[in-house]
Amino acid sequence: MPEVLSQSQIDALLNSMNSGGNDKPAEEEKQPEKKYRKYDFSTPRKFTKDRLKMLNSIFDNYSRVLTTRINGLVHTTCEISVESVEEQRYYEFSNALMDNAVLTTAHLVLDGEQRETPVLLYASAPIMVSMMDRMTGGSGDVDNLPDDYVYTELDLKLYEVLLQDFVSRMGVTWENYIQLDFEFGRVENNPTLVQLIGLEETVVLVDMKMSFPNVEGSVSIVLPEEILMDIFTQINAGNPAKKINSVEHQEEIFEHLRDSTLEIRAELARTTLRLDDVYRLNVGDVIDLNQKKDSALNLYVGGQRWFNGLMGVSDKKLAVKIKDVYHNAGGRGRIQNEQ
């Protein structure tokens, strides 16, 4: 009578056959499978990695320009960075929008002609409401903002003012490649009812992260294929708007920079007082900053943090001795330490 194997014996036998009869550790038997990104041959990519890398560089510059402008406009610290630059179909972006989303249109002006297909800008509600609140004297606090927040008529007017400023600075960041401009179109508070771009049209979506001390959100820019093809064609043609040769004009650029003036501001600390307390302040009163007297203070150049240092005296005048130097205006990293 044949022997009947148990399930555990069957499993052991199969494992032994798979391993060739050797009892090797499982980690030696299994090699990690290399993952490949799936490519859809039915919808081939229109833009190369080099083109997307160039756009990433352009909008990285745009984010710095916008950061400086917003800092001066709403009088608070703002940081903007490019999160991604991706090619996709317009419906992928459109389907992700909420019903109460507000879009802004801008039109490319190239060689004196305005293109009909619009560039779209979308800013998330929390950061826009926060900026508008600061512009009207508030603190920019949006903790209680509902997800389905609907802009009021006054909100839309302020929204339009802000986005006009955003659009007016988009063309400046292309100057190293081509001379072009973007003109503000309109604010559309019900984009689902208007066919702004064909749903199947290829677009490049630029996502940027915008952060304030008490809120953060995103700004998205939709660049249609038709617009980008016009721009890239002009760049490749080598027209008079071709890329500026920085080596040839290096000395000229530095001559202009030497005559530039920038405001340098030293900030020891920040604190918050009630208006009633400010009203009652008198000569000789002391405000507690929660800082030690020898604490490092930050130095801002043109509204951006570049250094920190220690307060002292030089030639009988108040002075700051630079201690740390930051590699960029946002102060995200240090390149050297000077004692």
pTM, full prediction: 0.58
Query: pLDDT tens track of the chain, all 339 residues?
Result: 455 667 777 777 777 776 655 555 555 455 666 665 565 556 667 788 888 999 999 999 999 999 988 888 888 888 999 999 999 988 888 888 887 888 999 999 988 888 888 999 999 888 898 888 888 888 878 877 887 788 888 889 989 999 998 998 898 888 888 888 999 998 988 776 667 788 888 899 999 999 988 888 899 999 999 899 988 888 877 644 444 455 556 777 777 777 778 788 888 888 888 898 888 888 988 888 877 777 888 888 877 888 888 888 888 888 888 888 875 544 444 444 443
Q: What are the C-alpha distances in Å from 185 to residues 86, 160, 163, 274, 310?
A: 24, 10, 10, 42, 49
> Does 311 lie in the same domain as 218?
no
CA–CA separation, 294 and 310 (whole Å): 7
My answer on whether 201 and 299 are in the same domain is: no
Name every residue whose Cβ is closer than 8 Å to that of residue 110 and which is 6 or more positions away in sequence.
178, 180, 230, 231, 234
Residues 57 and 135 in one domain: yes
Beta bridge partners of 210: 80, 217
Amino acid (one-letter) located at 131: M
Residue with tokens 């992260």: 209
Whether 124 maps to a domain, the answer reads: yes
Question: How many distinct structural domains can be found in the chain?
Answer: 2
| 188 and 220 belong to one structural domain | yes
One domain for residues 202 and 268: no
Residue 90 · residue 120 · CB < 8 Å: no
Same domain, yes or no: 212 and 178: yes
232 and 275 fall within a common domain:
no
Print the domain residue range for 272: 264-337
Note whether residue 28 is domain-resident: no
CATH number for the domain that contains residue 137: 3.40.1550.10
